[in-house]
Every structure is written in C-alpha cells, then in structure tokens.
Chains A and B, each alone.
Chain A
C-alpha cells in the first residue's frame, strides 16, 4: 500500500519510530494531490478540458508552505526527543467552513472569497497543536448548504473518487473526497443535517458526527447554531477515534461546548460487542420522496441493496455476540426534514445577517447612493442561490405573524424526535439499546447535476441523518460494502449522548470482522 493510503494511526507510528519522516509523508501527499486533484476550485469557475474536469477538485486553498513548516517541526521535535503530539505528521485537510489564521476562509462563497481569517477555529487549532500537518482548505457546499457540494461558488466542485461523474456528497464533499482518494489521511468537516456522514457514505470512508457540544464550534462559520457539529472524516474507525480525542472537549470560547470528560477513544476500540443491544428500526428502512409540484409525499422501502448491506452489518455483529433488536419504532423520523426546513433556515438567515459588506468580505464595487443599496447589492452579488433560498425561507417562518405556526411548532416537533431516541436508548425503557443501526443515506452517490435545482429532493437526501442533529445524539457512518454499480454504501450507528466510544467500538468490531473481505480491497476509480 502506498504511504498516502495508509491509515493515519499507522502513519503516525511510522513517523514516530523514524521509519519515515513527516516531510516524506507530506511529499507523498502532495504528489498524490498533484496526480489526481486537478485545479483547485475558483470563483471564475471551470472552463476545463473533459480529462481535466474528471479529477477530484477537493481543494479551494492548498497550504503547502504551512504544511512543510509543520512537517519539519514534527521531524525536528522527534529528532530532539520531544513529543510532537498524537497526530504527529498526519496530513489533514480542513473544510473551508473553518477559520484558519492566515488562510482565506471562504465558506465556499463569493461573499467571503477575500476574507483571510485573523484567528483559527478551535478544532483545527487542536489538530495543528497535536502535530497534524495541514495540507489546505477543501471545498464544500456554499455555507454548507447542500448535500452534493455542487453549490460551491468555487468551481469545479469536488467529484466522487469512485466515479468522477458523480457527486461526493455534501456539504463536506471536499473532505470526503480528499480522504477517500488518499490526498489526506484525515479531514475536519462539519455535520448539520448529515454533512459528514452522507459524503462519508457516498465516498466509502468513515465519518463521525459527535454529540452536539462534544466539539467546540468556535471558528466554525455558522449555519445552524443548534445543529452544527465539527467532526472527523477518515478511512478507518481507529483514525476517527484518534482525531476525536484531539478535537473534543470544553473551550472557553464556546458556551455550548459541554463540560464532559474526553475518553481515550482509541484504547477501548477492540473490546467487542458481546451483550450489546443494537436496534433496527423500520422507520429507517423507508424513504420519503416528496413531489414538489404536486405536493404529494410518497414513502417507499429503501433500495434492497442498501437494506441488505445494513442487515449484513447486523449479521456480523450478531455473530460476535450483539443482541440485534428488531422493530424499534422511531415514529417521528419522517418529520426530520420538514422540521429542518424550518429550524435551520431561521438560524441560517440570522447567521447570514453579518455578511453586509461593512467590515469584511465582499463589498459591491458598484456605485451606490446610500447604505441600504450597498447592503442589497453586496448580498445579491456575494451570495449564491442556496444562501438566498435559506435566508428567505428563514425570514418567512420566523416573521412575527408566522413564527408561532412554523418556528415554534417545529421546535416542539423536535422534542418528539428527541424523545424517539430517548425512548430507544433509555436503560429502563422498552428497548434499552446501546445503539441503533441504520442506513446512512436513501441512495448511493447520484450523478453530478441530477438533483441540483430541486431543493426539496436535495434536502431529502439527509432524511436518515438529520434526526440525529435535531436530537443532538452522535452518529457514525462506516463503509458497508458497494452496490452493483460499484458505489459505496454506508451504514450508520446512532447512540445516546456522548456515547462516541460505544459507536466507535461497534464500528471497529465490524471493521475487524470484515477486514479480509474482497470489497475492502477495492480502490477508487481515480486511483486506478
């Protein structure tokens, strides 16, 4: 296996034992990027040749100088007997929704294209302080608004390494693609409705949405303040555990970062699942399709391929001693998207108020008569379609005369969604689950351009992941095989608050059980 395809935890071991230097690992990563990434996303778009287009395009801003300085520092520390930290020499990328000091921190939007952050987001700072080597800022849906990465103002947008005619998922599309294609061993993403888990599933990698409040949001350019969760993407469960340990924990800059002990997630990984009650819910094996024109809601069973992949995971876990509990009702699952349409939009429209051209970012170059004209032109020119959609919906459902009917009601349905999980996980309740096992997504990766434009259909791509965001519970997506088109399928584990250690353990157990399976030997098309 090439260096760039090794799991992070193995890489750092080799670096520590001086079998390979951090700088060599960096050079290998840069070579991989040069071979497969193609041009970074740009505001001026992509008039590129077809072969050039069929590359990954994960990056917006590569940071090779920063990375080299960091790699050299890791090597220097090792040479002098100092400890560079638990992520020593591991190349990682950062979704460009995070502020990183001295880098353009664009949120994938024209309105912040020229914003150079004067400070670093806490999770990114912790990864750098732990010896990680930051390769650059990777692409995303504009302001994380989307499930395909297509909405980015920086084009071309990233492509799925398994089939570059398909989306990598979103909004952390650049993160998932970079990790899947061996450009970086880890990536720092965010998950508001599934934006880590869904692209992880589409790209065949591991994606962890921690419990809300487990990881500080300071420096995360906000979308849904009560929903956003920073988290890691990686190729193995162990790597995700390693990253979580580094980024998790309270932060004096975030009043919602929970004061909960950070476990050493990697040490408990291989304790197995004997006696664990793991649930299956019929509500997660049905998918809702909404016809915007007719307003009709249809529900269909999920595709047989996805269903059998997830049931196969259950089978392996059962063989290793888990108690698989079927028929667990999660009746409010189908309301996850409608509730999300309301709550996330109210928070988003408010969070986007600050982009007004006054103190940073884009200001319209057009001559204006007065201030409100400056605001309007700046925001019209600076924001793409997706922010405009969210701002206007947010305005509507929080307007004084509609707020009770929409926003207040959605917040109360959110309570019901939360209660579904509380009942499932209640140790004195009817199901007493340690975790719930579900598919991550209703489909595998769809083709570029196939869904974009239908905002309802696009949002419903998150229907199996969004309930966890409403409830705040953690969710882990792990690769669980491929469909007949050779596209990755993801299985999702959901657990009680702060149960990341359990989810990682279950994921690792399945990983070990299927270690030698043929499908694990498959490599993304871009690498062949």
Chain B
C-alpha cells in the first residue's frame, strides 16, 4: 500500500448555453463581440436596475441536477454575496448560499483500471457570472459583456483519490453537459472552470489535513498535471517534516509550475443575505415533471445498454456513447441495418467518425444519414458492392446528399461478380504483363497482390476481389 493517499475535491463553474443572461435579456454568448457591446442597464449594475430570472436557467439546472442524481429543492432562494471587484458592477454577486436549487447527487466514473469511483456532490446552485478584466500597462481594462451569464456551481465532496480520477471527472462532466445540452462546455472558452482542493494523508487514516486550492485549471491536461504536481509537492514537504499551509495556488500551463497566489488570510466576509429583488424559486411537481420529460437516457446508462443490448465491447460502447448525437446515429443505423451491430460499429468508429471529425459537425448533421449507412452496409453484405466501393460511397453520399442506391445505379458501381467478366479481365492482365507472370511463376507468389490490384483497376474497382484472387491464382499456376 502506498504511504500516502491523495484527497481531491473539485469546484466547477459551468456556463450555461441559454440564449440570454440569467437576469436580463442580453445574449449569453458574446465570445465574438467587441467589448462592452453586449450590455444593458441591468447587467452593468446601473443605479435603479433590478434582476429578472430567466426560465431556461432553472430548466437547465433541473436537468443537470436530475442527471447528477441530485434532489431538486421545491423551494430555493437567491442571496447576495457582497464584495468589491471591478468586474462585479453591483458590488455583489447574486448567488445561492444556504438554500440551493439542488442538494446531494453523484457522478460515477468508470476507471480504466476496472473500478467505478462514485463522486458525491454536496449541492448544485445557480449564480451570475462577472465580467472580464485584463491587465495592460499597469492598468486594468474591464469588459462587461460576460457579466450576468448564467453559471451553475457544483462542489464535489473530497472523494477523488488521484489526478487521473480528477481528469476523468472533468471528462465525464463535460460529456454530460454536452449530452444534456445545458452547456457547450468548451474549456478554452471558459465554459467549464475548475478549482481543485488537494490534500494528502497517511494511508489508512480517515481525518482530513489542511488543503491547498489550485485555481483556474482550465483544460483536462492542466487538471491532471497541476494536481499531480501538487500531490508530489505535498508528499515531499511532509516527508521532509514540514506542514502544509492552506495556500491558494495558480497553475502556469506554459512553465508547468504552481505559483503561490496568496496565503489564506481571514476569509472575506461576504455578508450573505437573501436577495430582496428576487422572489424564491418555486419548482412544483408539475413543472419539474415537464422539465424532466426532456431528460434523455444518460451517457453511462446508454453505454451499459449498448454493451448489453448490442453485445458491443466496452471500447466500442465508450466511443459510440461519447457524444449523444453519435450514439443516436448508431441506434438509428442499427435499427435500419438489422445486421451485426459490431460490424456497424466498426464502420461508424473508423470511417464515419473520421468524416465527423474532419467536417467538425455533430453526427446528426451529416448528409450521410443513418439510413444511408445501413443501406450501404446491406449492399456490401449482399455482395452488391465490394467493401472498398462501399467505403468510398460513404464520402460520395456525404458530398452529394444523394441516396446510395441511386448513386450505385447511376454510376454503375455494382460489384462485378460475373465469373466470365472477371475471367476475361484477369486474362487480360496476365497476357499484358509477361515479365511479372514469369517472376510470379519463378516463386515470388507475393506478387499476387499486384496482379489483384491490376485486375481491380481494370474493373474500375468493382470486381469481387475474392473471385479475382481465385481466378488469378488459377491462371497463374
């Protein structure tokens, strides 16, 4: 047993993909906009303004809470968190303090080592985002475009035990957010922001030691590396007999180093109190049921079902359920195909997925529909097409949007299986290449591949390759 155990908790802030901000009707997404153009009196904290809650924020929060197996509270409240910062125009953030929208909940992480780690969360609450600041020449420049964008905050219990698990949590969380369509979860755009709390303890003990906080780790790689670096640092310190101080650290991705941000002084007194400008959030059973009617089968449940129902290996199930649109695509194709799901999975994971990545669209947006894919596979199974024709047909269908059957007919792509026709082609190849024939007959039987290639070319790629091989072997013997 290793000497130390790492104890990690993650605090995540998730930017929702609603159309408008949480308390005003400005756009939620202003990534492309020039500074201070996506603003209004409310999100810039002008004198006299009031917040008005966006219905879609509650809906998405309830969906996420349900997917995290959390208990949605029928009554929750907004509170003001008061502090001064230039990107916080009102001088307070409207958040939820002691009566959050949902309590408890968990996310299961299937780890590659073969176990499942259940990560508990304490609560899920909604709040508003602040603006952005940047330094320039000893001054601060402020942009309020992002002020008021809706955020969900979830804090895990200190249940994670390694930097790998932490990375897995973020991967699974990101997958879930996109799956539910509650957030684009693009970490480079700051849609998913992470703070990590890290401590260590001697294995076999159960108390918690002082922890450090690593702020703003904003990629999967950074999560893993920063936490790993900190664990190792703490181990070195404790081994050397030093105490761990409750520091706040920052991860510098470029230099792969941790920097000290500040020592933990007295906690800021945020003087939380109930937000008087907003009424409590009331989610009755009827509303909750209506929202949850939209709750899809969750990724891990679907993954298990694909293994079970379609007999797919874990590897396949993982990839096919990595993204909701892709998994929906697989199921439609499987239903239309009716054949071996593993065979379908292979085609999907190799060729179709490559196409999806190149085009950078969700599977559901392809012109190569699941029905088209099924059609092509059926034709290849039936021998109407050979495999390589089938594969190039995928691209043709995607490019043109025309149905495979139609293309095959119009362009005469059907596999040539007529033995006489093939025999005639093979004979031609043999008679046109006496040199190679002699080389083959002199013992270089590996040349058969070259001959097959020549025959396939002559046939416009349509010949049945198995038949070509058989006939060529006969002719060359």
Question: What's the Cα separation between A358 and B89 when bound, in Å?
Answer: 8
How far does the Cβ of A369 sit from chain B's closest Cβ, in whole Å? 10
Residues of B within 8 A of A403 (CB): 271, 273
Q: Mark B81-116, 1 if CB is under 8 A from A, else 0.
A: 010101001111000000000000000000000000
Task: Kindly list chain B residues whose C-beta atoms are within 8 Å of the C-beta of A221.
Answer: 47-48
Q: A256: which B residues are within 8 A, CB to CB?
A: 50, 276-279
A332-379 interface with B by 8 A CB criterion? 346-347, 350, 352-354, 356, 358-360, 371-372, 375
Cβ–Cβ contact B50 & A218, under 8 A = yes
Q: Are B48 and A99 in contact (CB under 8 A)?
A: yes
- A360 touches which of B42, B46, B84 (Cβ 8 Å): B46
The listed residue (B47, B80, B86) touching A371 by CB distance below 8 A is B86
Does the CB pair B91–A354 fall under 8 Å? yes
Whether A350 contacts B80 by the Cβ 8 Å rule is yes
Q: Let me know if A220 and B52 touch, CB within 8 A.
A: no
User: 1/0 contact trace for B267-293 toward A, CB 8 Å?
Assistant: 001010100111100000000000000
**In the assembled complex, which residues on chain A have CB atoms less than 8 Å from the CB atom of B46?**
99, 117-119, 360
B371 interface residue per 8 A CB criterion: no
Interface residues of A in 78-123 (CB under 8 A from B): 98-99, 105, 107, 112, 115, 117-119, 121
Contact A255 B52 (CB under 8 A): yes
Nearest CB in chain B to that of A143: its residue: B47
Q: Are A400 and B91 in contact (CB under 8 A)?
A: no
Across the interface, which residues of B come within 8 angstroms of A226, CB to CB? 276
Given A225-B277, A398-B273, A353-B92 contact (CB < 8 Å):
yes
Q: Please measure, in the bound complex, the distance between the C-alpha atom of A358 and the C-alpha atom of B45, giving whole angstroms.
A: 11
- Chain B residues near A451: list those with CB within 8 A: none
Query: Which chain A residues border B47 with CB–CB below 8 Å?
Result: 99, 105, 107, 112, 115, 117, 221-222, 354, 360
Tell whether A298 is near chain B: CB-to-CB under 8 Å: no
Residue of A nearest to B277 (CB): A225
Minimum Cβ distance to chain A for residue B175 (Å): 35
Query: Contacts of A353 on B, CB cut-off 8 Å?
Result: 82, 84, 90-92
In the complex, what residues of A have CB within 8 A of residue B276's CB? 225-226, 256, 347
Does B51 make an interface contact (CB < 8 A)? yes
A457 interfacial by beta-carbon distance below 8 Å: no
Given A118-B41, A395-B271, A400-B271, the answer on whether A255 and B279 have CB atoms closer than 8 Å is yes
A121 to B91, CA, bound (A): 21
Within 8 Å of chain A (Cβ to Cβ): is B49? yes
**B48 near A218 (CB under 8 angstroms)?**
yes
For the residues of B in contact with A, the DSSP-based class is: loop
Residue of B50, B53, B140 with most partner-chain A CB within 10 A:
B50
Write the nearest CB–CB distance from A200 to chain B, whole angstroms.
Answer: 23
* In the bound complex, CA of A372 to CA of B140 (Å): 13
Residues of A within 8 A of B51 (CB): 255
With contact pairs A225-B277, A353-B90, A354-B89 given, residues A254 and B50 touching in the complex (Cβ less than 8 Å): yes
Q: Are B44 and A359 in contact (CB under 8 A)?
A: yes
Q: Is B142 part of the contact surface with A, judged by Cβ < 8 Å? A: yes
- A350 in contact with B277 given A99-B47, A112-B47, A115-B47 (CB within 8 Å): no
Assess whether A407 is interfacial by the CB under 8 Å rule: yes
Chain B residues closer than 8 Å to A253, beta-carbon distance: 42, 49-50, 52
Q: Tell whether A521 is near chain B: CB-to-CB under 8 Å.
A: no
Q: Which residues of A contact B273 (CB under 8 A)?
A: 346, 350, 398, 403, 407
Decide: A350 near B44, CB < 8 A? Known: A217-B50, A254-B52: no
| Chain A residues with CB under 8 A of B279 | 255-256
The answer to whether B48 and A220 touch across the interface, beta carbons within 8 angstroms, is yes
Give bound CA distance, A243 to B229, whole Å: 68
Chain A nearest CB: distance from B303 CB in Å? 41
> Using a Cβ–Cβ cut-off of 8 Å, how many residues does chain A contribute to the interface with B?
42
For B140, what are the chain A residues with a Cβ–Cβ distance below 8 Å? 371
Judge whether A398 and B271 touch: CB under 8 Å: yes
Say how far A404's CB is from chain B's closest CB, in angstroms. Answer: 11
A255–B41 CB distance below 8 A: no
Q: Are B84 and A356 in contact (CB under 8 A)?
A: yes
A490 is an interface residue with CB less than 8 A from chain B: no
| Contact across chains for B89 and A399 when beta carbons are under 8 A apart | no
Give the interface centre of A107, A222, A353, A372 by most chain B CB atoms within 10 Å: A353
* Chain A 421-444 interface 0/1 with B at a Cβ cutoff of 8 Å (1 = within): 000000000000000000000000
Asked if residues A350 and B271 are in contact (CB atoms below 8 Å), the reply is: yes
Q: Is the CB of A255 within 8 A of B90?
A: no
A409: min CB distance to chain B, Å: 13
**B33-77 with Cβ < 8 A to chain A:** 41-42, 44-53
Residue of A nearest to B82 (CB): A350
Q: Closest residue to A213 on the B side, CB-wise? A: B279
Complex contact B49–A218 (CB within 8 A): yes
Query: How far does the alpha carbon of A112 sit from the alpha carbon of B46 in the complex, in Å?
Result: 11
Q: Which residue of A lies closest to B91 (CB)?
A: A353
Bound-complex Cα distance A219 to B46 (A): 9
Which of B50, B80, B84, B142 is the one whose CB lies under 8 Å from A255?
Answer: B50
Contact B92 A219 (CB under 8 A): no
Residues of A close to B80: CB separation below 8 A: 350
Compute how far the CA of A217 lies from the CA of B144 in the bound complex, rounded to whole angstroms: 24
A450 to chain B, nearest CB (A): 31
CB-contacts of A283-297 with B (<8 A): none
Q: Kindly list chain B residues whose C-beta atoms are within 8 Å of the C-beta of A354.
A: 45, 47, 89-91
- Complex interface bits, B363-404 against A, C-beta within 8 A gives 1, otherwise 0: 000000000000000000000000000000000000000000
CB-CB under 8 A from B271, the residues of chain A are 346, 350, 395, 398-400, 403
Q: What residue in chain B is nearest A407 (Cβ atoms)?
A: B273
> With the chains together, A346 CA to B92 CA distance in Å?
13
Which residue of chain B has its CB nearest to the CB of A400? B269
Docked pose: A477 CA to B414 CA in angstroms: 94
> Please, what's the 1-or-0 string for A401-431, where 1 marks a CB less than 8 Å from any CB in chain B?
0010001000000000000000000000000
- Taken together as a complex, chains A and B put the C-alpha atoms of A221 and B144 apart, in Å, by 21
A230 to B144, CA, bound (A): 30
> When chains A and B are docked, how far (Å) is the Cα of A238 from the Cα of B332?
71
Q: Please measure, in the bound complex, the distance between the C-alpha atom of A17 and the C-alpha atom of B166, giving whole angstroms.
A: 78
Find chain B residues with CB under 8 A from A255 CB.
50-53, 277-279
Give the complex CA separation of A253 and B25 in angstroms: 10
Known: A354-B90, A400-B269. A222 touches B52 (CB 8 A): no
Question: A97 → chain B, closest Cβ, in Å?
Answer: 8
Q: Which residues of A contact B89 (CB under 8 A)?
A: 354, 358-359
Query: CA–CA, A127 to B348, complex, Å?
Result: 65
Name the residue of chain B whose CB is nearest to the CB of A375: B84
Question: Nearest chain A CB to B88's CB is how many angstroms away?
Answer: 9
Residues of the A chain whose Cβ atoms lie less than 8 Å from the Cβ of B49: 218-219, 253
Chain A residues with Cβ below 8 Å from B82 are: 350, 353
A118 partner residues in chain B, CB cutoff 8 A: 41, 46
Tell me the minimal C-beta distance from B77 to chain A in angstroms: 13
> CB-CB contacts of A244-256 with B at 8 A, as 1s and 0s?
0000000011111
Output the least CB separation between A231 and chain B (Å).
16
For the complex, give the distance between the alpha carbons of A356 and B52 in Å: 24
Residue of A nearest to B270 (CB): A400
How many Å from the CB of B429 to the closest CB on chain A? 79
Asked if A121 and B45 sit within 8 Å, CB to CB, the answer is no
Q: Smallest distance from the beta carbon of B161 to chain A beta carbons, Å?
A: 33
* Inter-chain contacts of A400 with B (CB < 8 A): 269, 271
What are 10 A-B contacts defined by CB distance under 8 Å? A98-B48, A253-B42, A253-B52, A254-B50, A255-B279, A256-B278, A352-B91, A358-B142, A371-B86, A398-B273
**Other than the known A117-B47, A255-B279, what 12 A-B pairs have Cβ atoms closer than 8 Å?**
A118-B46, A219-B48, A225-B277, A255-B278, A256-B50, A350-B80, A350-B91, A350-B92, A353-B84, A354-B45, A354-B89, A359-B89
Q: Which residues of A contact B (CB under 8 A)?
A: 98-99, 105, 107, 112, 115, 117-119, 121, 217-222, 225-226, 252-256, 346-347, 350, 352-354, 356, 358-360, 371-372, 375, 395, 398-400, 403, 407
A-B pairs, 10 with minimum CB distance: A353-B91, A225-B276, A226-B276, A221-B47, A398-B271, A219-B48, A99-B48, A221-B48, A354-B45, A354-B91
